Structure 1
């Protein structure tokens, strides 16, 4: 996000955190925020009215309350009014923030029940399964497959095997990708999960499986480099250059060229 949207997103996040610290139920908040996001995405004139930076913030907040106050709970209504009352540099930034808060509400629910690590791992595994199966990927990404059919397929794949938050987020990703590729949606969800745990997630692609000691050394090197806890998500690909490739957020690290992690690479590859 750029300009005023950064401050708007921070203020929205603070209001969300306060709602969760109060009496707001994470699951209810998530469902209602997803619904509000869909309404805003589907109505261009409403989106413009709520995100117009030239309009008074109180007026925009009042509009949001009048539209959604009777359709959602008090906590959601107050939060949406706060989001709408901010000064957004772009309409998409506002709706992206609403979606982000909805995802975070589900993740907070998982955190409260001790499942957030499991949910993050299951989302990652689901994304890798879809990526490795072209037919499944095409079905879940196709505009010719109705949303209910996609969601039903996700439930068939995950229900009874995954945490309820995992199933719901995977359903949301295929139902309402909001113009993004499925893998990009899943990456966004995973980043939010990692942030929720105040950890970084490193996608580690290796030519051969890592031994436990090698994983520990790589994790230690990354934690020293980034200054915070790191979770490794390991994928095997025999074609990877240099034997290892590490991606942390948007930063891609090739083990053969990145000098600052050369020592860690030697530990991992044994050379």
Structure 2
């Protein structure tokens, strides 16, 4: 997002965070309601355009959103959406993207409140690795001709009783409502949101063998010092790296593997 949309999303995040501070708030219910609003905005493009029309006053747009949503979702959710449409948005789709992010953030806030946010982060990463290693499963979950209910049922069999309920809801929502993203991109986005709940960055660490607790502690401390923020380490084992580790933080890759050094040596010899 750029310009006005970025500012509008930042304001919406603050309002949601303030709401989540209330112990009586049902974060899971708000997440579900925000997801339903996202689906509405995706489905009704003309409505989305009206609610983001810069020629209309913020109050008029808020009143319209309130009339449409009252009785369909809870009062807290109505207030959140009304506040969002009062803001200016660079593109109409940005509003739907922002509501979707708030839905995921509400789920993660519920996990944080329950003390299970770390587990959700790890499960999202592990599920991504399962998808990567199973082309048949990925094909089934991304098949555009398959019904969303069938995909949800498949995920229920895979995750039900094995993963945190927040993880399951996030993954089901992502798979059944991909909104033009790849499954991998969606899972990575969720992992970043989870890390942001603790003001942390995500580092994907690939090694030939599992790291010891001491090694993980030292690596996390070194990366935190280097980047100036705490790190959540997503750990993956790949025997093909031969030795050492590879660390990916966003688009930046730090290579320290034997395989990488061999590749570099081969390139030099060829040159």
Per the TM superposition, whether the score is higher than 0.5 is: yes
CA deviation profile, 1:49-101 (whole Å, cap 9, x unmatched): 11223322111111111111121110000001111111001122211110011
Call closer, same or farther: CA 1:206–1:53 in 2, change over 3 Å. farther
CA deviation profile, 1:127-157 (whole Å, cap 9, x unmatched): 1111110000000011021101111111101
1:204-219 equivalences in 2 (<5 Å): 204-219=205-220
Offset of 1:237 from its aligned partner?
2.2
Q: Which residue of the partner structure matches residue 5 of structure 1?
A: 5
Q: Distance in 1 between matches of 2:94 and 2:243?
A: 39
Q: Is the 8 A contact 1:140 1:174 kept in 2?
A: yes
Offset of 1:209 from its aligned partner?
3.1
Structure 2: gaps spanning 5 or more residues: 258-271
Q: Which residue of the partner structure matches residue 89 of structure 1?
A: 90
Once superposed, what is the RMSD of the aligned Cα atoms? 1.6
The worse-fitting range, judged by mean Cα deviation, of 96-105 and 205-214 is 205-214
1:75-114 equivalences in 2 (<5 Å): 75-114=76-115
Q: Which residue of the partner structure matches residue 269 of structure 2?
A: none
1:75-224 equivalences in 2 (<5 Å): 75-224=76-225
Q: Distance in 1 between matches of 2:111 and 2:128?
A: 19
Q: Distance in 2 between matches of 1:173 and 1:240?
A: 31
Offset of 1:197 from its aligned partner?
1.9
CA deviation profile, 1:28-59 (whole Å, cap 9, x unmatched): 10010000000001111011111223322111
Q: Distance in 2 between matches of 1:53 and 1:252?
A: 41
Q: Distance in 2 between matches of 1:61 and 1:243?
A: 55
CA deviation profile, 1:200-226 (whole Å, cap 9, x unmatched): 221012233333333222211101011
Aligned positions, number:
256
Q: Which residue of the partner structure matches residue 34 of structure 1?
A: 35
Q: Which residue of the partner structure matches residue 266 of structure 1?
A: none
Call closer, same or farther: CA 1:11–1:211 in 2, change over 3 Å. same
Q: Is the 8 A contact 1:26 1:109 kept in 2?
A: yes
Q: Is the 8 A contact 1:5 1:89 kept in 2?
A: yes
Q: Distance in 2 between matches of 1:92 and 1:225?
A: 36
Q: Is the 8 A contact 1:53 1:89 kept in 2?
A: no
Call closer, same or farther: CA 1:232–1:72 in 2, change over 3 Å. same
Q: Distance in 2 between matches of 1:8 and 1:32?
A: 20
Q: Which residue of the partner structure matches residue 48 of structure 1?
A: 49
Q: Distance in 2 between matches of 1:231 and 1:8?
A: 28
1:15 equivalenced with 2:15 (yes/no): yes
Offset of 1:113 from its aligned partner?
1.1
Q: Which residue of the partner structure matches residue 240 of structure 2?
A: 239
Q: Distance in 2 between matches of 1:117 and 1:53?
A: 41
